[in-house]
Structure 1
């Protein structure tokens, strides 16, 4: 795998001519409580994308760090952009790499708040036959591992994200703050009143900005998450490589 930003324009021309799939890591810069760094989501997505570095048919584009995160706005350090802005920006980047001949793209995403915008732009790019861009969250396809290690699905700054950060950037995890993070955490994402979701922002249901049990995270679990996620990404790339663009444009593609 090559990193596009390390190429010159002439070496990029030669490399992209032999590239089947582009990876575009996306995430966010947002609060993850007092123990995890603001860049947790984009760092995780980037780390997973880089695990397939031994592939010669893949190019990795520069990571897009800021995403759709206004619901964390009350917590210091959070950055965000509007869903429409994010959607259009991702669309422009994917269209750019498609113009150089790489029309198959995996958007390796690390932030759930980006999902709606990524689905919309993926549909548009396919409909207009610009690119086949697959939105893919790094925790997708590893439900058995999540259940085996934690017994729960991913929430926010929880034991799962804590484990991943311990595996990829241990020096940035403030382990002494994990207990405070958990003490002020919400038990579930959101807040319902008589069937209505009134938890518009994270502050509505979490004092610390955390949901879950970050003290239960571990580096060993994080390394397993990274490995399993890498295998899923590698298999997804294989799936894309095996298909012709004409089949991917089709409404009946499999």
Structure 2
């Protein structure tokens, strides 16, 4: 059930029987010369909506702009400051609790959001308002990702390229896949990301001239479909697990006596 598509009287039945919601969270940022800036929020929304339909859960409208300060050197990247992002997502989630939601899955597709979504989840749990957990699609299926691609790339690589070939092929510039590979970094390590134990970068451009990593030419729509189906299965399983838990069991344990 996709919340924005329904009139309010028709949503009451869901809130009477369920207390779980999926919130898609992505970004609007550069993904190299071959992918649209919508990549992350397209992936997040499609996964959240598909899992909601399969599991009979509620999916909210997506959060399309995240924390992307590390991509600001590239045209069009949109970003919000981390405190503003955290406060916005927290406020949005507290709005859901007013309707009876007490467990939330942030269906995330952008690495820059991860730590901030975790912090929001901690705040909500400490207040006993909700149990909100951050879920990152590729981290749910690491073995499949490794099996499908020799050089995954942490950003704009073949896994995201394959997903977009499956979900939004009209906005993938397949004629630029070699350009993406040859103008970026196939291996993150080639950019000397660590010097004497210190991370030697803050922004994507510090390690990749065109902002992406991995071998994009290894991506296909068929591989994207495999990723999408496997990640959706994991997301539905997570929602079912959360749905079965007693609320008190999800809250913080008491102080040790």
Gaps (5+ residues) in structure 1?
none
In 1, the alpha carbon distance for the partners of 2:109 and 2:138 equals: 8
Partner of 2:202: 200
- Mapping of residues 137-148 of structure 1, within 5 Å: 137-148=136-147
Q: Tell me, what secondary structure is at the counterpart of 2:138?
A: coil
Asked whether the equivalents of residues 66 and 113 of structure 2 are also in contact (C-alpha less than 8 Å), the reply is yes
Secondary structure of 2:140's counterpart equals coil
Distance in structure 1 (CA, Å) of the matches to 2:99 and 2:165: 37
Structure-2 residue corresponding to 1:98: 97
Deviation for aligned residue 1:71:
0.5
Change (3 A) 1:250 1:203: closer
Pick the aligned partner of 1:233 from 235, 238, 256.
Answer: 235
User: In the alignment, is the contact (CA less than 8 A) between 1:143 and 1:153 conserved in 2?
Assistant: no
* CA deviation string 1:138-173 (max 9, x = no partner): 112211101111145551100111111111111110
Secondary structure at the counterpart of residue 25 of structure 1:
strand
**Pairs aligned (count):** 250
Partner of 1:127: 126
CA–CA separation in structure 2 for the residues paired with 1:194 and 1:140: 28
2:213 matched residue in structure 1: 211
Give distance in 2, aligned partners of 1:250 and 1:122.
12
Partners in 1 of 2:45 and 2:138 — Cα distance?
13
TM-superposed deviation, 1:193: 2.6
- 4-13 or 115-124: which moved more? 4-13
**In structure 1, what is the Cα distance between the partners aligned to 2:113 and 2:197?**
25
In the alignment, the residues of structure 1 paired with residue 71 and residue 153 of structure 2 have an alpha-carbon distance, to the nearest angstrom, of 17
Segments of 4+ moved more than 4 angstroms: none
Q: Tell me how far apart the structure 1 counterparts of residues 36 and 167 of structure 2 sit (CA, whole Å).
A: 12
TM-score norm. by structure 2 comes to 0.93
Matched, 1:55 2:55: yes
For residues 220 and 7 of structure 2, what CA distance do their matches in structure 1 show?
A: 40
| CA RMSD of superposed structures (Å) | 1.5
2:156 is paired with a residue whose SS is coil
Q: How much does 1:203 deviate?
A: 1.1
C-alpha contact (below 8 Å) 1:3/1:60 kept by paired residues: yes
Deviation at 1:12, TM superposition (A): 2.2
Q: Is the 8 A contact 1:22 1:59 kept in 2?
A: yes
Distance 1:196 1:126 in 2: 33
Deviation per residue, 1:199-228 (Å, 9 max, x gap): 111111111111111111111111000010
**Structure-2 change in CA distance of 1:152 and 1:18 (3 Å):** farther
Kept in 1: contact 2:152–2:158 (CA 8 A): no
Higher mean displacement: 167-176 or 45-54: 45-54
Residues 151 and 214 of structure 2 are in contact (CA less than 8 Å); yes or no, is this contact kept in structure 1? no
**TM-superposed deviation, 1:54:** 3.1
Alpha-carbon distance in 1 for matches of 2:95, 2:151: 38
Gaps of 5+ in 2: none
Structure 1 residue aligned with 2:154? 155
CA separation in 2, counterparts of 1:154 and 1:210?
7
